[in-house]
Structure 1
């Protein structure tokens, strides 16, 4: 990508292929396993952490995109599906391992569904909550991607 490409142009050009599964380093011993997200595991500094739990299996979460925010989702317990859309393509990714997370870059629409009983979704975010960073309408998202 050319070095004179602005951050705003990058957000519009992001595709679902730019999202990736990242393995979280783990340390295993007879007492159990610890997984650690630090240093260079994810490509951003974490400024917000939250988690979803007690989500009914027929419920859907997400249903939005971000203009600048990066997210890293981990299924700490159970499983759920993440549906990614970039305005042209759609992809479903099932998260079900606590040492693998999904990096979602800005400019990607996401929906979370099919939560198993007892599932917990941990989210590490690159920014604190800012409502102006959200695109909550899919038609507005498609317009955002064509700018």
Structure 2
């Protein structure tokens, strides 16, 4: 399995009124959440991501529909399908990610440990591979 990646399972409370999933920083999420955004309306065949982060941690949850995530730690690669809103994908630092095969109704929620900082991004795969070899 790719290093610095794991599936988180969130408690789901179900009753006659429906389902509820509560996500709490430093409890169900292993960091303080400083930024939240979501991706939706991705057209068929579009791939997103193509980057890694030096320090940022994230949790991805497909709250509706499905999406495939390609993960790469510089040595191992794997694909994970997110299609269950009770599961989150934890991505630590230095994990290359690409998102694709969004269902037409997909909503991908992303929780991040830091505010947006362009200097934390590694957008060149060759640079990413060189940096992972040095660690």
TM-score range, shorter chain: over 0.9
Aligned twin of 2:23: 37
2:3 maps to 17
Tell me which residue corresponds to 2:81.
Answer: 94
* Structure 2, unaligned runs of 5 or more: none
Distance 2:125 2:116 in 1: 20
Distance in 2, matches of 1:83 and 1:118, equals: 20
State which of 113, 126, 132 in structure 2 corresponds to 1:126. Answer: 113
- After the TM superposition, list the runs of 4 or more consecutive aligned residues in structure 1 that deviate by more than 2 angstroms: none
Query: For each residue in 1:88-118, what CA deviation from the matched residue of structure 2 results, as whole angstroms up to 9, or x when unmatched?
Result: 1100000000110100010010000000111
- Where structure 1 has 5 or more consecutive residues not aligned to the other structure, the ranges are 1-14
Kept after mapping to 1: 8 A contact 2:4/2:93: no
SS in 1 for 2:94: coil
Let me know the Cα RMSD of the aligned residues: 1.0
For these two proteins, the number of residue pairs brought into alignment is 133
Q: Confirm or deny that 1:74 pairs with 2:78.
A: no
The structure whose Rg is larger is 1
TM-score between both structures, scaled by the size of structure 1: 0.88
